[in-house]
Amino acid sequence: MGYDGSYLNASQALPTWQRYFNLSGWRLGLASASAYLPALVLLPLFSYLCDKIGRRYSASIGAVFVIGGAILGALAKNEGMLIAGRILVGTPGSLLLLGSNLLLNEILHPRLRSIGGALFLSFYYVGSCVSAWVGYAVVDEALGDWSWR
């Protein structure tokens, strides 16, 4: 999820992305916040879902929707598709994070739970760094729209 957290920032640095979507002001804020705002309302439901059907299945459902949202965002033809893709990545991504974090702390040996939990949270920043470097690597006008897709 760290990759997704830095993805929009890296995209804004790409001239091809800026020309394609031409987002600024409140529209850029909406595109950025659309990944996280629905999750605020749905978090109690996600917690209930993790308890009812299990952490593994909840994380799997979240992962499937995250992949679908990433594909939708990559194939976005307009601002609405971009926002819908961000919603499908961010909102089920919260379910994925919740389910996988809970599952990790349940299946690890008690001696290793603190280390596993710390590494789980630390890898968010690894994803952010990878996203930043990928964004830097694709700054190439010759690639056209495929640089940000």
pTM score of the predicted model:
0.84
Structure tokens at 86: 């961000």
pLDDT at 68: 92
Please say whether the beta carbons of 40 and 9 come within 8 A. no
Sorted by where each begins, the domain ranges of the chain are: 2-147
User: How many other C-beta atoms are found inside a 10 Å radius of the C-beta of residue 15?
Assistant: 11
Structure tokens at 76: 């976005």
For the chain, 149 residues long, give each residue's pLDDT as a single digit of tens: 666 767 777 788 788 888 888 888 888 888 888 888 888 889 899 999 999 999 999 999 999 999 999 899 889 889 889 899 989 888 898 899 889 988 988 999 999 998 988 888 888 888 888 888 887 787 777 777 777 77
pLDDT at 2: 65
2-147: CATH, from 3.20.20.220, 3.30.450.20, 1.20.1250.20, 1.10.460.10: 1.20.1250.20
Q: Alpha-carbon distance 27 to 12, whole Å?
A: 13
pLDDT at 37: 87
The alpha-carbon radius of gyration of the chain (Å, integer) is: 17
The amino acid present at 12, given as its one-letter code, is Q
pLDDT at 56: 93
